[in-house]
């Protein structure tokens, strides 16, 4: 008995270790370690590029309001406080404009024929153009940044709403009118549920596209906010400050996207995507190109 235990003891332990290493979590941890290693290698190869140690040290100071040789204090909170109202306001306006334009194009054949090509060009215009134009139009300040967000993000909302409105099954609409269902009830039970999923998809695109637009807008026409802050360190040739801020704004958008927006979208689309395999659904969620173009 004891001999058996002695025999299985170590092999069970190595089995557990192997299972832990090959589990999904193990794979994930391994992938992050590999990324860090790659980063370290790049930093060793390229002098100007700071390694992870330096950057995280800087990040810690910036977030905990420590001092960089007495230069700055509490930058993290201060710049997010400047950025978040702009971002929220810009996204809210994009949603409103996109919803109106989308419903218009989706519901009327004439509006579709007239506005479709303009929308296509708007989808294709890179955010940098709006950042440049708004700087020339409005100078430095909040207005340029917010308008950059709206002009870049609203076409993505509109195009999703169009898809949603056009996806309302015609049979159901006909049946509702044949059975004299009231306008309010068709709206509440047919139009709204059919468009909700597409609305959340549009919201997700708007947030991702809008965040990029906000960073560009702040980079070129602001004197505070996360985009400006990263430019500040970039211009000062302090790349570790720049990269620390890059990490902050990647983390912000990735957490917002994966923890909130993807879940909303998945929940609202569960009627449509239930038959998809997990990989197919993920492929659909990764795609943030130009839907329908």
Closer residue to other proteins in complex, CB, 129/192: 129
Taking the complex as a whole, the smallest distance from the CB of residue 65 to other proteins amounts, in Å, to: 25
Closer residue to other proteins in complex, CB, 127/194: 127
Taking the complex as a whole, the smallest distance from the CB of residue 128 to other proteins amounts, in Å, to: 5
Closer residue to other proteins in complex, CB, 103/215: 215
Taking the complex as a whole, the smallest distance from the CB of residue 252 to other proteins amounts, in Å, to: 10
Output the CA torsion sign for 38, 40, 45, 51. Answer: positive
Residue 140: CB partners within 8 Å, gap ≥ 6? Answer: 221, 222, 223
Closer residue to other proteins in complex, CB, 185/258: 258
Closer residue to other proteins in complex, CB, 42/96: 42
Taking the complex as a whole, the smallest distance from the CB of residue 284 to other proteins amounts, in Å, to: 9
Taking the complex as a whole, the smallest distance from the CB of residue 129 to other proteins amounts, in Å, to: 5
Closer residue to other proteins in complex, CB, 139/193: 139
Taking the complex as a whole, the smallest distance from the CB of residue 9 to other proteins amounts, in Å, to: 26
Taking the complex as a whole, the smallest distance from the CB of residue 33 to other proteins amounts, in Å, to: 11
Closer residue to other proteins in complex, CB, 191/212: 212
- Residues at the interface with other proteins (CB under 8 A): 22-25, 27-28, 30-32, 35, 42, 46, 48-49, 109-110, 112-118, 120-121, 123-129, 132-133, 136-137, 208, 211-212, 215-216, 219, 227, 234, 239, 242-243, 246, 249-250, 253-254, 257-258, 277, 279-280, 282-283, 285-290, 293
Full 3-state SS string of the chain: CHHHHHHHHHHHHHHHHHHHHHCHHHHHHHHHHHHHHHHHHHHHHCCCCCCHHHHHHHHHHHHCCCCCCCCCCCHHHHHHHHHHHHHHHHHHHHHHHHHHHHHHHHHCHHHHHHHHHHHHHHHHCCHHHHHHHHHHHHCCCHHHHHHHHHHHHHHHHHHHHHHHHHCCCHHHHHHHHHCCCCHHHHHHHHHHHHHHHHHHHHHHHHHHHHHHHHHHHHHHHCCCCHHHHHHHHHHCCCHHHHHHHHHHHHHHHHHHHHHHHHHHHHHHCHHHHCCCCHHHHHHHHHCCCCCCC
């Amino acid at each position: 008995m004891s001999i058996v235990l002695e025999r299985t003891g170590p092999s069970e332990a190595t089995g557990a270790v192997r299972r832990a290493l090959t589990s999904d979590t193990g794979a994930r941890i391994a992938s992050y370690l590999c990324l860090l290693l790659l980063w370290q290698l790049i930093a060793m190869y390229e002098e100007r590029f700071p390694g992870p140690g330096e950057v995280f040290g800087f990040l810690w100071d910036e977030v905990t309001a420590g001092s960089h040789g007495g230069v700055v204090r509490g930058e993290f909170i201060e710049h997010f406080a400047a950025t978040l109202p702009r971002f929220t306001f810009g996204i809210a306006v994009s949603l409103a404009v996109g919803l109106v334009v989308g419903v218009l194009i989706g519901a009327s054949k004439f509006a579709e024929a007239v506005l479709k090509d303009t929308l296509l060009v708007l989808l294709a215009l890179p955010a940098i153009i709006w950042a440049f134009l708004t700087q020339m139009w409005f100078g430095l300040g909040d207005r340029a940044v917010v308008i950059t967000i709206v002009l870049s993000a609203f076409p993505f909302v509109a195009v999703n709403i169009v898809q949603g409105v056009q996806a309302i099954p015609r049979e159901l609409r006909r049946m509702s009118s044949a059975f004299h269902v009231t306008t309010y009830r068709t709206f509440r039970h047919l139009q709204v549920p059919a468009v909700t999923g597409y609305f959340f998809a549009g919201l997700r695109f708007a947030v991702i596209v809008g965040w990029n637009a906000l960073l560009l807008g702040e980079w070129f026409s602001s004197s505070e906010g996360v985009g400006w802050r990263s430019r500040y360190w970039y211009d000062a040739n302090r790349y570790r400050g720049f990269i620390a801020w890059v990490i902050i704004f990647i983390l912000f958008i990735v957490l917002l996207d994966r923890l909130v927006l993807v879940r909303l979208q998945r929940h609202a689309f569960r009627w449509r995507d239930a038959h998809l395999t997990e990989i197919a659904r993920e492929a659909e969620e990764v795609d943030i190109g130009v839907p329908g173009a």
